[in-house]
Amino acid sequence: MLNAVSNQSLAYAALGLLISTLIYLLYRFNERRLEEIKHAEAERRRHAEEMASIHMNTIESLAIAIDAKDQTTHGHVRRTQIYATELGTLFNVSEPELRALHAGALLHDIGKLAVPEYILNKPGKLTEAEFAKMKIHPTVGGDILKRVNFPYPVEDIVRYHHEKWDGSGYPKGLKGEAIPLVARIISVVDFYDATRCDRPYRKGMKREESLALLRSMVGTAFDPKVVETFIAHVEEFDRMIDSQDIQEQVASTPEADNETSTKPDAGLASDVLGAFEEATGFRSISNAQREVFALHEIAQTIGSSLNLSDTVTLVANKLRAIVPFDTCVIYLVDEPSGKAIAAHVVGENIELFKRRRINIGDGITGWVIANSRSMCNASPELDLTGIPDDVVKRFRGVLVSPLTREDGAFGAIALYSQSRTSYTTEHVRLLESVCQHASSALNNALTYEKTRESALVDPLTELPNARGFYMMLEQRIAECQRMNKEPLAVVCMDVDDFKIVNDKYGHSIGDRLLASVAGVVRRELRQMDILTRYAGDEFVAIMPMASSKMAASISERMRNAVEDQLFSVRAGTMVGLGVSLGVACFPEDGETTEELLTTAARRMQRDKNARKTVLTVAQAGVKSIDMMT
């Protein structure tokens, strides 16, 4: 009995030991399994983080490409990202929506890759066709990101960030809360930062100006709650941006004079460029990128147009991206007067500057043109003679570089600043680089303008010639057609028997008399009328908004003025001239250039035949209109 109990206890002990061993082995197996699971999970997390990092790097690379095409800087998307994510946090959006705001701030304009650069950066207002092309970018961007299959609603931001609260936006015309909240947030912060920064097509605003514009669009373009929340926290957001060195917005208050730690000597720009303005991190890279793109675009596109106005506008707009100024004036030398004339002005006080005429050698700009050398950091007052004192006092810095060709300088680009007292030698280098590219293009445009003008202008009388007459009359007839057949008159005038003058006194005297006749006739016309030299001794006047009665009255006045005038042909000899005229009126006498000209010429010939005016010479013993003095 005792043995049986003992054997049974031993069996229980062995069973207990076996169970304990099994439990321990199972525990160790589970522990190792758990460690393997944890390790695998950590690997998956690490892989996901690596993929997320690669994903965001790819997104940022795309964003940089977009910014470069749209002439903004990488700072714009960075600032928009901060505004959007912070605002999203205030609205307690979900984690996927917050991630969408982070990525969407970078990618909201990815569709602009499909919009031509000349539309994105056009200085003036877009045409209807150009705006239609611009409006495709949200749809294109949404389609691009649809293929990426983001796990959060980035596509909604890209596709709908141009929808408006009142339903007038695009591409779908969504209204109110039908627009995803993340898209409403992006539209507000993108608009605010875009208006705060200088762009090729307009100058940036101060914070107060941008917020006032934002408020004015509440309830139409933007969600009132999003705007209200953003405005309440915008100063806090801007402090965060300041701390990250991506502040490129127009200052809300006058900047402290802390930009001038590097000051070249006032006066001539140094031949050796060694002084650079301090810049750090993001700003340095951003500025370098902006300068490269601006200079590259200037070099590539500045010679694409021979139109002088387009060329000077392009130069000024591209210059804004790389050299700071409040007012930029492009001066070109007018050969007849010998003065430098403001051909184009952008920035502050445009009306005052565009009337400026500078003698070569006078002031800073005159000196630069005379000597073909840049000058910076002299007192702006030296270059602003004739500008009101209250305006002059606002300017603190000036930089001027010459526009040159083989025979010397033919103009200059002058930059005036209200915030900085000096420009660095780096600024001088950049402006001179722009001037180097601009000089060739502007010289070509000037040559083209002169050639074009000479092709349309009679060199003797400086009136439009026959080619110019046809161009201008066709334009005026088209305008009359648009204005419900508004009246217009054409007056043909021929100097009677002018051949006698040429035969008697020579063609040089005859040419001088024709120029004098043109001057007499021009004084009798209205300011809006156009006098042209059609051929030989024939003149044609275009008289907009003139009825037949008015045209006949002015024609008679022209005839009397010429016939009352005595013209000198040689010392002591004066001669009188007669003229024959014919008038044709639009639309009763014709609705085309040929019809009006033919009718006016026929009536002029009829008048000539009726008058039978003959020029005679006193010395020939015939009835004379010569006078001896």
- The first and second tokens of residue 332, run together, are 């070109």
pLDDT of 73 above 70: no
Which phi and psi angles does 456 have, rounded to 5°? -115, -5
Are 557 and 546 in contact by the 8 Å Cβ rule? The answer is no
- The Cα 521–Cα 506 span in angstroms is 23
- The Cα 542–Cα 469 span in angstroms is 8
Q: What average pLDDT does range 105-116 have in this prediction?
A: 79
pLDDT at 404: 87
Give the relative orientation of helices 466-482 and 425-456 as an angle to the nearest 10 degrees.
Answer: 100
Query: Could you identify the residue written with the tokens 């070109």?
Result: 332
Nearest to 231 by CA among 284, 270, 192: 192
Query: Could you identify the residue written with the tokens 């120029």?
Result: 515
Count of CB atoms situated within 10 Å of the CB of 99: 20
- The Cα 14–Cα 11 span in angstroms is 5
Burial of 63 (0-12, 13-18, 19+ CB in 10 A): buried
Q: Which uninterrupted H or E stretch holds 68?
A: helix 2-69
Are 204 and 197 in contact by the 8 Å Cβ rule? The answer is yes
For the stretch 540-584, pLDDT in tens is 999 999 998 999 999 999 999 999 989 888 887 888 898 999 999
Confidence band for 292, pLDDT divided at 50, 70 and 90? low
- The Cα 402–Cα 411 span in angstroms is 6
- The first and second tokens of residue 409, run together, are 């300088």
Confidence band for 497, pLDDT divided at 50, 70 and 90? confident
Phi-psi label, residue 464: left if phi above 0, alpha if psi -120 to 50, beta otherwise: beta
Q: What average pLDDT does range 325-349 have in this prediction?
A: 86
Residue type for 585, please? Answer: C
Which phi and psi angles does 88 have, rounded to 5°? -60, -40
Nearest to 70 by CA among 250, 186, 199: 199
Q: Where are the domains of the chain?
A: 70-243, 267-454, 466-628
pLDDT at 542: 94
pLDDT of 510 above 60: yes
Are 126 and 92 in contact by the 8 Å Cβ rule? The answer is no
Q: What average pLDDT does range 8-34 have in this prediction?
A: 74
- Residue 309's contacts (CB-CB under 8 Å, 6 or more residues apart) are 344
Task: Report angle CA 60, 66, 69 to the nearest 5 degrees.
Answer: 145
Which phi and psi angles does 353 have, rounded to 5°? -75, -30
- The first and second tokens of residue 367, run together, are 């000196």
Handedness of CA 325, 343, 319, 415 (dihedral sign): negative
Nearest to 197 by CA among 83, 103, 66, 71: 71
* Partners of residue 489 on adjacent β-strands: 543, 585
pLDDT at 258: 37
CATH number of the 70-243 domain:
1.10.3210.10
Burial of 51 (0-12, 13-18, 19+ CB in 10 A): exposed
- Total residues belonging to the chain: 629
Q: Would you identify the CATH topology of the domain 466-628?
A: Alpha-Beta Plaits (3.30.70)
DSSP string, 500-568: HHHHHH-HHHHHHHHHHHHHHHHHHS-TT-EEEEEETTEEEEEEET--HHHHHHHHHHHHHHHHH-EEE
pLDDT at 609: 87
pLDDT at 309: 66
User: How many Cα atoms sit within 13 Å of 265 on the Cβ side?
Assistant: 7
For the stretch 274-285, pLDDT in tens is 333 443 333 444
Q: Mean pLDDT, the chain, as a whole number?
A: 78
- Architecture of 267-454 per CATH? 2-Layer Sandwich (3.30)
pLDDT of 618 above 70: no
Are 552 and 544 in contact by the 8 Å Cβ rule? The answer is no
pLDDT at 482: 82
Q: What average pLDDT does range 51-58 have in this prediction?
A: 58
Confidence band for 176, pLDDT divided at 50, 70 and 90? very high
Q: What average pLDDT does range 87-103 have in this prediction?
A: 90
Q: What average pLDDT does range 337-352 have in this prediction?
A: 86
pLDDT at 64: 55
Q: What average pLDDT does range 331-358 have in this prediction?
A: 86
